[in-house]
Amino acid sequence: MLDINFIRENKKKVETACTNKGLNPKVVGNLLEIDIKRRQLMGTVQVLRAQRNTLNDKLKQKRTDDLLKKAAEQKKALQDIEPQLKQTETEFGQLMLQVPNVPLDDVPIGKDESGNRQVKTWGEKPRFDFKPKNHIELGTNLNMLDLERGSKVAGFRGYYLKNDAVLMQNALMQFALKKFVEKGYTPIIPPVITKRQTFINSGHFPWGESEAYKLASDETDPDNEYFLSGTAEVPLVSMYAGETFKEKDLPIKMVGYSPCYRREIGNYGKDTKGFYRVHEFTKIEQVVICKNDLNESIKWHEKMLEFSEEILQDLGLHYQVMLMCTGDMGEPQAKKYDLETWMPGRNSYGETGSDSIMTDFQARRANIKYVTSKGETKFVHMLNNTALPSVRALIAVWETYQQEDGSIKVPPVLVPYMGKEVINGENKVK
- What single letter denotes the amino acid at residue 426? E
Determine the pLDDT at residue 285: 97
* Distance of alpha carbon 179 from alpha carbon 181, whole angstroms: 6
In a shared domain, residues 62 and 203 = no
Determine the pLDDT at residue 220: 77
In a shared domain, residues 138 and 35 = no
Residue 261 belongs to a domain = yes
Determine the pLDDT at residue 320: 98
In a shared domain, residues 290 and 415 = yes
Q: How far is CA 262 from CA 256, 279, 326, 382, in A?
A: 17, 5, 23, 23
In a shared domain, residues 118 and 246 = yes
Determine the pLDDT at residue 221: 80
In a shared domain, residues 397 and 359 = yes
Residue 106 belongs to a domain = no
Domain end, chosen from 64, 96, 128, is at: 96
Residues of the chain falling short of pLDDT 50? none
Determine the pLDDT at residue 367: 98
In a shared domain, residues 134 and 64 = no
Residue 71 belongs to a domain = yes
In a shared domain, residues 36 and 125 = no
- Domain containing 63 equals 4-96
Residue 105 belongs to a domain = no
Residue 68 belongs to a domain = yes
Annotate 129-140 with b (16+ C-beta within 10 A) or e (fewer).
eeebbbbbbbbe
Residue 104 belongs to a domain = no
Domain end, chosen from 38, 62, 96, is at: 96
- If one counts the domains in the chain, the total is 2
Determine the pLDDT at residue 118: 97
Domain end, chosen from 96, 128, 161, is at: 96
What CATH number is associated with residue 314?
3.30.930.10
Residue 101 belongs to a domain = no
Determine the pLDDT at residue 353: 95
Determine the pLDDT at residue 268: 61
Residue 119 belongs to a domain = yes
3-state SS of the chain?
A: CCCHHHHHHCHHHHHHHHHHCCCCCHHHHHHHHHHHHHHHHHHHHHHHHHHHHHHHHHHHHCCCHHHHHHHHHHHHHHHHHHHHHHHHHHHHHHHHCCCCCCCCCCCCCCCCHHHCEEEEEECCCCCCCCCCCCHHHHHHHCCCEEHHHHHHHHCCCCCEECCHHHHHHHHHHHHHHHHHHHCCCEEECCCCEEEHHHHHHHCCCCCCHHHCEECCCCCCCCCCCEEECCCCHHHHHCCCCCCEEEHHHCCEEEEEEEEEECCCHHHCCCCCCCCCCCCEEEEEEEEEEECCCHHHHHHHHHHHHHHHHHHHHHCCCCEEEEECCHHHCCCCCCEEEEEEEEECCCCEEEEEEEEEECCCHHHHHHCCEEECCCCCEEECEEEEEEEEEHHHHHHHHHHHCECCCCCEECCHHHHHHHCCCEECCCCCCC
Determine the pLDDT at residue 428: 53
